[in-house]
Structure 1
């Protein structure tokens, strides 16, 4: 029993580190992507029109947020599938 508990703890710690890494990545992206898209579109696309460049930055921020939500949902589905698989093995 203790070997199973140790394996479960190691798996949970690895999952926690992965989740923390994703959170840090998306947090940094949420700061960097809108700023980069604002200045790039201001200089190269809209040639000085700050209103359209700001709209581009808002859209970029929303894309990062949607990407984070999608990865969270997919990860949650994967976790639920592994939990249900483990429970079905217990009932055998």
Structure 2
């Protein structure tokens, strides 16, 4: 029974937080941001130097990944709600 309760809690948290929406946004930005930064910096910043444009694309991809990781960690540290605090105490918790 505790497995079912844990799965219900996970499903409830994912529905409230919009985890799937955040994953889709970061997935799309992981494809779009490096490509646009590569071609944009190739044409406007580095004047045709593809090595520097590739470095710019790699840095932008890493920024997107780090932003996703930090936002996931901050979402994981949300405060415990009152309904989670009011659970009965078990012998293991004493």
TM-score (norm 1): 0.75
Give the ranges of 4+ consecutive aligned residues of structure 1 lying more than 6 Å apart after TM superposition.
Answer: none
Gaps of 5+ in 2: 89-94
RMSD value over aligned CA atoms?
Answer: 2.5
Cα deviation code 1:2-30 (max 9, x no counterpart): xxx9xx77x816236x0000000000000
For 1:88, the equivalent position in structure 2 comes to 85
Task: Quote the offset at 1:49 in angstroms.
Answer: 0.1
Equivalences, count: 81
Gaps of 5+ in 1: none
TM-score (norm 2): 0.74
Distance (Å, rounded) in 2 between the aligned partners of 1:86 and 1:48: 59
For 2:68, the equivalent position in structure 1 comes to 68
